[in-house]
A and B are shown apart, each in its own frame.
Chain A
């Protein structure tokens, strides 16, 4: 089963990379971009076929390694 972990910076955490992307978009003429927040997507291919179990497993992975929960939040997306 393919599962995605979507990792974002928590609301309120300053995102210097997002700000640099916003600035570069402005340079390219894309006006009207008020804010950019960037993060990462991690795609996992699991042997587990039970969706509930897979979701719980990936949540544990996010807590243990994939996300730094001090500054990041995560969502687990199932197919």
Chain B
């Protein structure tokens, strides 16, 4: 299995994400934002956290219009998998691959701490390794993590079982305590918490490794 990790100016979780993929058995290639194509045979694209383009205009807005994102869109259109974490989630929302928007945290402050999450669905390549109704602890580190969407989108996400993770208690004002969502075909996951920062015993947390291991075991 092969993973590509996109790198933008200001990405700072790209190497951690690459390591998490590697530890799960992926061959990983880093891909610069100016490239217009993904490497041959990529199964999953990782859009990392950080502050791409300094969060100028809106978090993720400039990155979402960079050349490599055209290749990401084509990869997803073909049924490829993708995961966007933190700033990567913001990028995926800005591209329209996932619905809704992330706004400034309700309490304004940057929140940086491990949080408890409900695994809200196990029906995806990313979450099938978790026991139904289980709790996972991933760190969060964000200021713009307040997920908002129209009533129509919220109803669809809920009805189609596309909410992947929920904060156990309200963290940042997100509607329905949404921490992560899936695309319609369930092959794109965007989430604010960082599974890659919880994927190695050295980091003190290991719940995130389950997600990457499950991805490695997914059918291409």
Contacts and interface: CB of A to CB of B under 8 A. Distances in A.
Interface of A: 13-14, 16-17, 20, 64-66, 68, 70-71
B43 interface: no
A47 to B, nearest CB: 21
> Is chain B's interface secondary structure helix, strand, loop, or mixed overall?
loop
A70 B101 contact: yes
Contacts of A64: 65
Interface of B: 57-58, 61, 65, 93-94, 99-101, 103-108, 146, 148-149, 173
Nearest to A67: B58
Contact of B101 (A20, A65, A71): A71
Given A20-B108, A71-B148, A14 B61 contact: no
Contacts of B146: 14, 16
B173 A14 contact: yes
B51 to A, nearest CB: 17
A16 B173 contact: yes
A5 B93 CA distance: 22
Nearest to B65: A65
Contacts of B99: 70
A68 B61 CA distance: 8
Given A66-B57, A70-B101, A71-B101, A16 B106 contact: yes
- Residue of A14, A64, A66 with most partner-chain B CB within 10 A: A14
A68 B108 contact: no
A17 B144 CA distance: 11
Contact of A13 (B61, B65, B103): B103
B145 to A, nearest CB: 11
Contacts of B104: 16-17
Contacts of B65: 64-65
- Residue of B94, B104, B106, B173 with most partner-chain A CB within 10 A: B104
